[in-house]
Amino acid sequence: MSPNDPALRSFIEVAPENDFPIQNLPYGVFSTTADPTPRVGVAIGDSILDLAALHARGLLPSVPGANAFATDALNDFMALGPAVWKATRGRISELLRAETPTLRDDAALRAAALVPRAQAKLHLPYRVMAFSDFYSSKQHATNAGMIIRGANSALAANWLHMPIGYNSRNSTVVVGGTPIRRPLGQLKSPDSPNPGFGPCRKLDIELEMGFVLGQGSPMGSMVDEQRAEDMIFGFTLLNDWSARDIQAWEYQPLGPFLAKAFATTISPWVVTKEALEPFRVEGPRQDPAPLPYLRQHGPHNYDVTLEFWLKTAKAGDYARLSRTNFRYMYWSSVQQLMHHASTGCAMRAGDLLGSGTVSGDEKSERGSLLELSWNGADPIALPNGETRTFLEDGDSVSLRGHAQGKGYRVGFGEAEGMITPALTPPV
């Protein structure tokens, strides 16, 4: 039986609305107070299955060599390649099935290998070797272009011909739950002849998906469609926090720099490409047709609902501000990777690529505050009577996402972060 079969059930009870049924089995890195050593596990319902413990007992024979799970990052496991990924996920699924007694009927093994998620600390799931962010939602690019350049020149001339992206910082990629300090930077108002230096006033989020490479490609080579598919290990939620006012002053002529380099949050769980296979869909029609090296011959988008939630310091609960879908992306993840490597750029296992902000046609589907508030001109009303144009100190952001199956959902958990005050700028 396929690990994606909707009929599969685990001996561990999982509610239909839980992000982590047996059809998901996302990878992460965790530790506990009882055992503070970080190791690799998979989420199942409200528990974490300790893969290092299973491997030590010889229950994961598909993983050759050293214990690739007794480590603080997924990189060693990802480097083993697609055949091992598939076999390992299949074995984990088998061990968790309701009809399999190995783990179900062994109380000592369950006590050693199953940890309540509420008692675990989640870590950055892999060592991020490099981070590149794209700009691949046509709706987002159009909205941002209209705000910045006006309706007549919303999309740049090159946008429909290639996935636009830039190299960002891997050093400030953090796991969900990490507080985000408001950045300082150069700011210039339209009526001031000179810039100043101070806290960002237009702090924003970007509702994105990230994908991590489990395999690399050598410098000087290109990556075709099939190779790109094989290189992608899995997907996470990604929030590329953005300082819009710093960006407005610095971005010409070379594009984003410090306005995007101060923090990027990813969710603690990596959902494998295999788990998302039932939700693969065609993307939007591309016109004009991409150049030959960018053409794809199969569907590479995914039907994944994405949400942006906000909680202020005065509010007791989160309020949902946006609900959109990853299927809207004009340029697919496979095309982004093919383009990234097209000049001979070497790719490495552990490279993180961001989709860019995911937005849809409706206002409720916009994936950033820049769009939702139209750069501050249209304040957003919150349920408790407050309004927002951009983020304020004490605000907490939660990105959430899931693909809906028949009787189950393949979810990503949350990518959270709370805004803390900026440092005092030097005088």
Cα distance between residue 180 and residue 176, in whole Å = 10
Q: Tell which phi-psi region holds residue 376, choosing left (phi > 0), alpha (psi between -120 and 50) or beta.
A: left
Per the DSSP assignment, residues forming a β-bridge with 185 are 198
Question: Given CA atoms 113, 114, 119, 122 in this order, what sign does their dihedral have?
Answer: positive
Q: Which of 260, 270, 123, 255 is nearest to 180 (CA)?
A: 260
Other C-beta atoms closer than 10 Å to the C-beta of 225 total 19
Cα distance between residue 395 and residue 286, in whole Å = 38
Residue 140: active-site member: yes
- In 45-183, where do the E strands start and end? 47-50, 114-116, 120-123, 131-134, 165-167, 173-175, 180-181
Q: Which residues contact 151 (CB under 8 A, 6 or more apart)?
A: none
- In 188-340, where do the E strands start and end? 196-199, 203-204, 207-213, 232-239, 242-243, 264-266, 271-272, 280-281, 301-302, 305-311, 319-325
Among residues 55, 140, 300, 339, which one is catalytic?
A: 140
Cα distance between residue 393 and residue 264, in whole Å = 17
Cα distance between residue 136 and residue 125, in whole Å = 25
Catalytic residues: 140
